[in-house]
Structure formats: C-alpha cells, structure tokens
Structure 1
Amino acid sequence: MRREHIKYMENIPINIELLDIREYPIHWHEAIEILMILKGSIEATVESDTYRLIENEVEIINLDEAHSLSSNEPNLVLMLHIDPNFFQKYYEDIRNIYFYTDCAFEGEPQVGDNYEIFKKYLSTILCEAVQKGEDYDVYIRETLVELLYLLINEFHYLIYENRDLKDNAEQLQRYHRIAKYIFNNYNNKISLQDIAKKEFLSAQYLSNEIKYALGISFQDFVNLTRAEESVKLLLDTDMSISEISEEVGFSHTRYYNKHFKRHYKMTPLQYRKKYKMDEEKFNKAKQITSYDLGEALKYISSYLENYERYNYEEKISKINVDVYKNEGEFFHTYKDAIILPKASAILEKEIQEFLITIQKEIDFDYGILRDLFSKEIGIYPEGNINFRYAKKIIDLILSVNLRPDIIFGFEEFTPARYKEIITNFLNYFQEEYGTYELSKWRYSIEKDAPEDFKKIFYGILS
C-alpha cells in the first residue's frame, strides 16, 4: 500500500522527523506534510509537477497528494505531519483546501514576512517538541492554530494562482466552491453549464472567470484532477487501465491516455510499469536516514531568538512604548498576541468567524495590526483624515476580547503628514474609548522606517 499511516506523537496532533532523504518513492497520506530544508537540497515531485527545494525553503504537501522525494547529495529535512482532524475543529473545510508555496528554482524565491512567520511557527513547534517543557503540548496546539490561520490567509491555492483574489472574499469563496465541487465530483459527469446554473452566472462568463482564477480552463482542470487521482489506482490496485479510466470519470480510455500523458509525459500503463511495486520493494527502495530532532535546533535558532521558552529561559522582547507614561511598561510575549491579516480584510465575515473561534479556544490578549494607515482604510497622503473605517476595525478587535497591537506604517506619507495622522489618531480614539483603554493598547513602528519617522513616532508616543 502506498497510502502511509502517520503515527502522531503522544499528546499532540503532529509527527516531526529530521531526515536525510536520498530516495522516498511515490506515496500519500491523510496528513498535511510540511518540509523545511535545513541543509542541502531535494527534488520533490508532487502529483504531476517536480520542484527542486533548496536550503531554508519550505514546501507544503496536501492531504492525499501523491508525492516522491529524492536527492543525490547529503541533506537535512525537517518533516512535519499534521493531523487534519485537529485543523478541522477550526476550519471545517480543511479537506477541500490546498496550500501552495513558491519555489526559488522556478524563479519565485520565498521572500516576505509570510515566509518568515511560517518558519518561526515551524521552529516554535520543533522547539516545544524537543524541549518538552511545562505545557509544551498546549503551546504546540496554539502555534498550530496560528499556523493554520497563516496558511489560509497567505498560502491558499487560489490566492497563489491569483493574488488579486486575496482582497476579494466573495470571489474567493465562489471559486473555492467551484473547485471543491470538482474535487468531490471529478469521477462523475460534470459540466460548466451545471456549475454556472448553481452560481447564477452565464456559462461563458464563468468559463472566463475560472481560467482567470485557476490559471487553466474548466475542462483542463477537471481532466487534470482526474489524471492525478488515477495515480493512486494505478499504483495501489490491480484494476485495468479501462476500469481506472471509467472510475475517475473519463468517457473513454483514449481520453484518459491523452490527458494523463499531457501531464505525466507517459501513458498510464507506462507509469504503472515504472513505479508500481509491492510493499517489500517499496520499503527497500526508501533510502532515508533519521537523526535526533535536537540536532535541528542549531539550524533554526535564528527564528527562536525572541521566543521566551527557548532553552527554558524566561525571555521577553519589549516592542512598544507607554503612551501616557503612568501605566508602566508593556511587553510583547510570544503567546499573548495573534498576527491579524491586512487591516482592510478584518471585517470580512470569514475572518470574523475565525477570530471568534480562536479566541474561544486560546483567548489571546492582543491582535497585531498592520496597514491601518492606508488608502484602503481611508487615510490618504493628502486631504481630510477619516478614522471611521479604522474605528470599525478596532471595534471588531475589541468585540472578540482582543486589544490592538498596532504597527504603524509610514509609506507614501511625508514626515509632517505622518505626525499629523498619529496625533489625530490618538486624539480621536482617546475621545472614543478614554485614556485608560488607550493606554492598554500597544504601538510600534516598522523596523525599516527612516530615522526621521522614528523620531516623530517616539516623540509623540513618549
């Protein structure tokens, strides 16, 4: 059987391994797999695509995706498997969503805050699993929830194909419904007209929109899904090619051969002859060396510098200032804050529901909020300053028992305008919520802000 059973660690819904992988033949499992390359490189074939992953890159392999891993050089790979049943408590549709990452080898280097946060979460989980300090299982679960929140908002498969959808919740939900319908009905006769009818759209309009959102046409997407799903039957059953063709929804074997060859560069029969093997041969073909997990800590220590539980030390990192001086100092500890999405997205219904669920389970103290000074929020480089939209966002944050941890941006503003906005901001919200409540909020400025902006910021907030 190529479907592998994942045995999770005691008390926690994950399994973590540190491996040197030279050959790991095609397999799949009902777990979300995350790879972080600590040393060397590996080649990952996921369904019909092959990628070369290099040092410090991460890769996500989704539920039941057929994949293989190989390398001709020494490497160290942190392999994390996550139980989807845990994620399902927070996101019911976890079995119908896919997550993708960029690949430097394909010309899309993994840069940006989203990747840095991703690797910090993985490092935190590893740290807790290795050290097994007090309540380590609680900290791992909390970090997994934060990781899920990040995956949905930054690595969603539809956003990967079309970044414009990130800020269009209605369109994102529509295309997810369509893709989900295809994933669950690919082996039946499905038509664009039927889906268009369900969405109250014309077939022509929907056809254009699907290609815009998914990157390929509706029929190509259906046939790709069928071809990819057929791999499991080719390798894990003795069904004939014609039986598999019918099972996955192709009307004729020749169409199955045509579309399979388009993506896998060989016919289904050639693929079966090349890759099918019994369990004994499969296990012999695996060339994997396991190492003690503790060895991985030295490779990811930079991501744990500000984590207070690393090496059991009571580390805290001060990141904000006291607005009115008389309330003492505020500190930012890792577990008391959740990183919120872009400010303009917080009022979306799905985000609100997610925050409510997380707060019921974990009850964070602060929500880290960026991009509050932006055109989307109604704050422009010139003209009148309107904080009504910002107030709606902060009202929502307060309503779920969070307080804002505001990181002030500075782009597009002159120093004089920046000073005007911050001053008006404090005056406006002091009048709305009172001095005491405002003093409980946290404030900081982006690390790469020019010195003149930092002087303004600290001059007002000190």
Structure 2
Amino acid sequence: MHWHNEMEFLLVLEGSVSIRVGEEVYYLKENDIILVNSDELHSTRKTKDENVLLAVQINSNFYSSLFPDFNKIRFNCKSFEYEEEEQEVFDTIRHYIAKIVWELNKKDLGYQLKVGSYLYLLGEHLLNNCEYDSIEKEDTELRDTDLARLQRIMDYVNQNSHKKITLKEIAKREHLNYYYLSHFIKGKIGMSFQEYLNTVRLDKAVKMLITTDMSIIDISNTSGFPNVNSFNNLFKETYNSTPSEFRKNWNYPIKGETKKSKTYLDVDRDAALEKLFTYLDTETLEVDETVVKRDIETIYIDSKKEGKYFKNHWQNLTTFGRAHEGLRANWQKQFIEMQSEIGFNYIRFHGIFNDDMMIYNISPEGNVEYNWTYVDELLDFFMKIGIKPFIELSFMPEELKRTNETIFWWKGNISPPKDVKLWTDLVEAFIKHCINRYGMEEVKSWYFEVWNEPEYEYVFWAGTKEEYFEFYKETALAIKSIS
C-alpha cells in the first residue's frame, strides 16, 4: 500500500491486474482504466495473467493556477463500472493519455506545449464528464494528519516485518488505544493490521523468489513468517500456486546471479506503445457534403416597393458587470449616450447583493438591517433613462456565506448560504422594497435571475448541483409568494 500527491491513471494494456484503493479491491482487465486520486491509498497485485499496465501520474497542482479548487476534488472514474455502450467518456480519456505518451515518445520541438495542452483538455474532460466530490479544508487537514500517522506505522512495519511485531507494540509507539488503532488501520487501508503485515511479508518473499536462489524455507524465515506452512498457505491463497511453482514459472536465475524485479511500470516498450497507440484513432473528421455542395439561390429585391421597419432583436437587452459599477458617474455618462442612440429595453447585471452594495448588515444587537441606498440610486437611474432592469440575484453577502470561495478580483462570494431562510428573507425584503418604491406593475415587468451560471461548479457556484436546485426553488418561491 502506498500513496502520493499525484493523481494517477492506471490503464491495463494487456492481461489483468488486481488493484486495491482504500477498502475496495477491483479486478481490471484489458482496456480498463481507473483514476486513483492524490493521497488515496492503493496497491497493485499481479493475477495469474501476464499483464502490461500503464501508469500516468499527474501533479494536481498543474491545474491549480487556472482552477484553484482542483486539489479539493475527488473523482470517481472507473471504466469497468460502465457497460460497453457507455465507454465514450473513457475512450476520450484513453485518447488523451495516448496523445500524451505519443508526444513524450516523439519529443518533437515544442512537444512540452502539446503535452500541456492535452493535460488541460484531460482535466476539463474530467470536470465535465466524471462524477466527483469535493473535500473541505478541515477534511484535508484531518486527512494529512491521518496520512502522517499511517506513514509512520507503515514505515515501521516495512522496516521490521522480518521480526515478530504486534499491534500492541505499535499502539504504544503511537500513544494510542489498541482498539482505536485497530479500527484506524482497518478504516484507512481496508485490511486488518495482521493482513497488512502478511501482505508486506508476502511482497518481500515474492521479490526473493524471483531475484535469488534462496530456499523456500530461508525465504519464509527471512520474510518474517512464523513457519513455512503459514507461508505456503498464504502464498497459495493469494497467487493460486505454491512458491515453488511460482518460481518455476517465473524462470528464476541460476545460482550466483540476480534478476531485476519487475513492477507494473516495467513493460515491453514496443508492445506497450503499439497497444496504446490504437487509442489515437478515436478522432474522426466527417465532412457534411450538403454543406460543401450546396445550391446557389438568387434573391431579387424591388427597391421601389415600400418596406417595413426591421427591429433588431439585440436591442431588447444589453449587459454590464456588477451592480456597483453602475453607480459611477463616468459609467452613467457613457451609458446615457449609448442608450440615447440605440434604446435598449433591458439591462442585465449581477452582484446586486454583493458586499460593495452595503445591503446586508448586522446591528450591535445582532439584528439584520437592510440598507437600500445604493440599490435605489442605481434603479432610479435606470428608471430615469427609460430602461428596465434584468437583475441577477447574487452574490452571497459576507454575513450569509457558508464558505469562503470567491470569483473575480472584487471577491464575489459564490458559496451557498449558511441558512437558506436568511437568504429568502433578503430576497423577499428586496422585492417588497422595489414594489413599494416603483409599484407592482412596474416590478412585474422586470426579470429576475437566480444566480450566475451555476452549472460552472467551483467557478460561479461552490455548492453541489442538488444544492443549487434547492436554492433555486426556495428563491423562486420567495419571489412568487409576493403578490
């Protein structure tokens, strides 16, 4: 068992392999692919089949400069959990991996740029096509603490597996309760302490079987097994063969020679590349003949006939940035000039509830107080020049935010509210204030939008899709409740 900071794709190019991730064990066959997230405990084990397994590790920090929350995401990406007709998402992943290896193999001038572009395309594809969960900062800190403890335990076991070691001994070293430590290990690596110890001993025994000519009894003793019978039984249970049969099939070296141990990264390079590059053929280019060979149509216009006014559809709506920008004198001056020449019907903007509008306040007594001064100034301006507002209800006020995720340099908070009731109270108060100031008939002609592009999770919305649906429902009901 091990873990690392990189996310890792494991793609079976030939044969089969057993992979443990946390508590789960998966059996992968040819063409299967799995994504092991950063800091996820995992291990690989040979099956009875010969195999070629490609491992591609990507530092998740690579994506962080453009997508800061990428490190907080845990993907569920396992092709073998889907039917053959559902493999399109994973075919694209295989294709990008093949492209990356292809460029690394060719090393043409500027190949690093191509590799980088395919890595970004791969990251975008994962975000938009694979299931994932997000972890909070507190969970990350707890995970790091647990991994540090687990690393100490595993290091100790690896260094002393040839000796008689017990869980009580390790519990004493870690200053932990014996039963707590037992559950801790089981919960983190998916096996008991004794099972893990046996796995370490067995891995060392396998290495000696294929790299030395030591006797089976000596290997058993050196690996730390209490006796050769327990070694033989565990070996047969794991590899479906005796140690002697395993060594014979592996063609161990003659006396005095050593043989390098294979890992899942040691593969026949040519065979691996040949198989991998079959995934390069997933892209096809189809030309629509109806577009290329279209007929030419001639249209005749009688300029003497009377025409009719053509109203441009784009005149119905214009947009600007956040609400607070509309309070600036130079902005208003430029907009008045544009409106007088074009005459838009609506103007869309976001950030009406952003903190720079100073709406949501808490009194010293702890009561909520609304300040509509800037709202009135902005909406009065729109009424004066004859344009109706298209109001996006965002962003989350500081006093209502659940988390600290923001967007843009002016820090618009994109988190769901800590209490949706406080949010709907704000929305209702805002709508009622507008009705009191401008009249029901006027406000009924306006448009209201719930948030900005929530489908871009962790860009404009830091909650889940389900949370947005609930957020939308409560907001819409709050508006419609006012009559």
Q: Which structure is larger by alpha-carbon Rg, 1 or 2?
A: 2
State the TM bucket, normalised to the shorter chain.
0.3 to 0.5
Q: TM-score, normalised by structure 1?
A: 0.44
Q: Which has the higher contact order (CA 8 A, sep 6+)?
A: 1
The two structures have a TM-score, normalised by structure 2, of 0.42
